[in-house]
C-alpha cells in the first residue's frame, strides 16, 4: 500500500511503503518531523494506525495478551497467598493397629474432638482463621503465631519424640516437662485454698457410682488396664451445663481463675478418677500453649505421673503443673482398699504466651470454628 500525505506545498512529500508485516516499524522519523499537521493529515494518520494494527502479526498480539493475563494472575495469587501444603497434623499420627491405637493412646474418633478427628485441611483452615482475625483486629503481635501456622508441618514432624503436640505447636516457647507453682501463682493458690470445696462436691458425685452402671455425666476413657473416669465441667472449650449444675461452687471457681483456658478447644476442666490397677498408656497432648494443672483430691500410695521421662507424685490439696505436649503417662498401682486416685484437672495458659496471642488463639481455635 502506497500513501502520500498532504502537507505544505514547500515541503517535499515523502512516500512510505507499508507491507502487511512491517507497517508499524518502517514509518520514517524524518517524515514525522516534516509532516505538516492538518485535519486531513490527522484523518489519514488515524486511518493508517487502524490499518497498521490490522496488519500486525496476530501471534505477537496473542503473546502480549497472554503475558498480561499471567501478570494479573500472579498479582492476585500473591495477594491471597496461602501456606505451603505441609504435611497435616493427622497424617503425622501413625496408626499402631486397626483399632485406633496411635502413639500408644486410643483415640475416640469423635467428630467433635479436635485431636482425634481427621482433617486434611487443618493447616489451611488455621491460616484462614488467622487472616480473618488480623483483618478484624491487627497483625501486631502475631509474628510467632503466623510463623507457627506456616511451618506447622515441619515443626510437628521434626520435633523430638519426647515432645510432639499433635495439633498445634507454638514456636519459641520455653519447654520443660514440669512447671513450678510460681508459673501461675495466683491460680494455683486459689485452687489450693478451695481444695475442700472441690473435694466435697466430688464426694457427692462419687456416691452415685455403682457396680452396674456409669452415672450420668461421667465418661469412661480407654485404657489398656483398669478404669479411668472423667467428669467434665468444660470440655474442649465448651461448658457442660448439666455437669456444672452438679458442681456449682467448683464451676464458679473457674471464673475466678485468671489464666484458665475457657474459650478455645484446648481448654478443659474436669475431675479425673483412676481406679486401682489402671495404667494410661503414654501419649501426647494437642498443644504446647497450655499448662495442665492437677489439684490432688485423693492420692493413695502407688500413684505416679511421668512426663518426659520424669516421675512425680500427686499430693492432696497441692497443685502439680506440667506440659502435656510432652510424652506422658499415669498409673495407679495401689491396692483396692486404698481407693481411686482423684485429681481436679484444669488447663491454664502457658506463662510465656502473650495477652495478644491468647486473644488470637481463642479466635483461631474457637469451638466450632
Within a domain: residue 60? no
Average pLDDT over residues 162-185: 93
CATH code for position 226 = 2.60.120.330
Lowest mean pLDDT, pick from 31-45, 204-218, 242-256, 277-291: 31-45
Q: State the Cα–Cα distance between residues 344 and 300, nearest whole angstrom.
A: 15
pLDDT at 151: 85
Residue with cell 497467598: 81
Cell numbers given for 262: 475457657
pLDDT over 80 at 266, yes or no? yes
Within a domain: residue 185? yes
Q: Considering its fold, how many domains does the chain have in total?
A: 1
Average pLDDT over residues 343-358: 97
CA distances from residue 95 to 101, 154, 263 in whole angstroms, order as listed: 6, 20, 30
Within a domain: residue 87? no
**Strand 290-298 with 341-349, pairing:** antiparallel
| pLDDT band, very low/low/confident/very high, at 115 (cuts 50, 70, 90) | low
Average pLDDT over residues 127-133: 93
pLDDT one-digit tens code per residue, 219-246: 999 888 899 999 999 999 999 999 999 9
Instruction: Return the higher-pLDDT residue of 343 and 104.
Output: 343
Range of the domain at 237: 101-365
| pLDDT band, very low/low/confident/very high, at 361 (cuts 50, 70, 90) | very high
Indicate the SS3 state at residue 305.
strand
Within a domain: residue 17? no
Lowest mean pLDDT, pick from 62-71, 189-198, 335-344: 62-71
Tell me the sheet residues that pair with 234: 239, 269
* Terminal CA-CA length for the chain: 70
Within a domain: residue 290? yes
Average pLDDT over residues 100-115: 46
Lowest mean pLDDT, pick from 16-30, 82-96, 152-166: 82-96
pLDDT over 70 at 118, yes or no? no
Selection from 310, 320, 358 nearest residue 170 by Cα? 358
Strand (E) or helix (H) holding 356: helix 355-364
Average pLDDT over residues 292-305: 96
Residue with cell 507454638: 170
Average model confidence (pLDDT) across the chain: 80
Indicate the SS3 state at residue 86.
coil
Q: State the Cα–Cα distance between residues 251 and 346, nearest whole angstrom.
A: 11
**Strand 228-235 with 238-239, pairing:** antiparallel
Indicate the SS3 state at residue 29.
helix
pLDDT one-digit tens code per residue, 37-71: 455 665 676 667 666 656 666 676 677 778 888 78
| pLDDT band, very low/low/confident/very high, at 100 (cuts 50, 70, 90) | very low
pLDDT over 80 at 191, yes or no? yes
Amino acid at each position: 500500500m502506497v500513501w502520500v500525505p498532504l502537507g505544505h506545498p514547500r515541503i517535499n512529500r515523502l512516500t512510505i511503503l507499508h507491507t502487511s508485516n512491517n507497517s508499524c516499524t518502517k514509518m520514517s522519523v524524518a517524515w514525522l518531523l516534516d509532516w505538516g499537521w492538518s485535519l486531513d493529515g490527522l484523518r489519514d494518520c488515524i486511518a493508517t494506525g487502524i490499518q497498521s494494527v490490522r496488519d500486525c502479526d496476530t501471534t505477537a498480539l496473542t503473546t502480549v495478551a497472554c503475558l498480561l493475563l499471567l501478570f494479573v494472575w500472579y498479582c492476585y495469587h500473591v495477594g491471597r497467598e496461602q501456606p505451603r501444603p505441609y504435611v497435616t497434623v493427622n497424617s503425622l499420627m501413625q496408626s499402631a493397629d486397626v483399632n485406633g491405637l496411635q502413639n500408644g493412646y486410643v483415640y475416640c474418633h469423635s467428630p467433635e474432638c479436635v485431636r482425634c478427628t481427621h482433617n486434611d485441611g487443618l493447616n489451611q483452615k488455621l491460616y484462614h482463621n488467622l487472616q480473618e482475625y488480623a483483618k478484624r483486629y491487627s497483625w501486631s503481635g502475631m509474628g510467632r503465631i503466623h510463623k507457627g501456622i506456616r511451618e506447622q508441618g515441619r515443626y510437628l514432624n521434626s520435633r523430638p519424640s519426647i515432645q510432639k503436640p499433635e495439633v498445634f505447636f507454638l514456636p519459641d516457647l520455653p519447654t520443660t516437662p514440669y512447671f513450678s507453682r510460681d508459673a501461675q501463682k495466683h491460680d494455683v493458690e486459689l485452687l489450693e485454698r478451695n481444695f475442700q470445696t472441690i473435694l466435697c462436691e466430688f464426694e457427692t458425685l462419687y456416691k452415685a457410682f455403682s457396680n452396674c452402671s456409669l452415672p450420668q455425666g461421667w465418661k469412661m476413657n480407654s485404657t489398656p488396664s483398669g478404669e479411668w473416669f472423667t467428669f467434665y465441667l468444660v470440655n474442649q472449650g465448651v461448658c457442660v451445663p448439666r455437669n456444672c449444675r452438679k458442681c456449682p461452687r467448683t464451676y464458679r471457681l473457674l471464673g475466678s481463675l485468671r489464666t484458665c483456658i475457657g474459650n478455645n478447644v484446648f481448654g478443659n476442666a474436669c475431675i479425673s478418677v483412676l481406679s486401682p490397677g489402671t495404667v494410661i498408656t503414654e501419649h501426647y497432648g494437642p498443644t504446647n500453649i497450655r499448662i495442665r494443672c492437677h489439684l490432688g483430691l485423693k492420692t493413695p500410695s502407688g500413684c505416679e505421673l511421668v512426663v518426659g521421662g520424669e516421675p512425680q507424685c500427686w499430693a492432696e490439696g497441692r497443685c502439680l503443673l506440667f506440659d502435656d505436649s510432652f510424652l506422658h503417662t499415669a498409673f495407679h498401682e495401689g491396692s483396692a482398699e486404698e481407693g481411686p486416685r482423684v485429681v481436679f484437672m484444669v488447663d491454664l495458659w502457658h506463662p510465656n504466651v502473650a495477652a495478644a496471642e491468647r486473644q488470637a488463639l481463642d479466635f483461631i481455635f474457637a469451638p466450632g470454628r
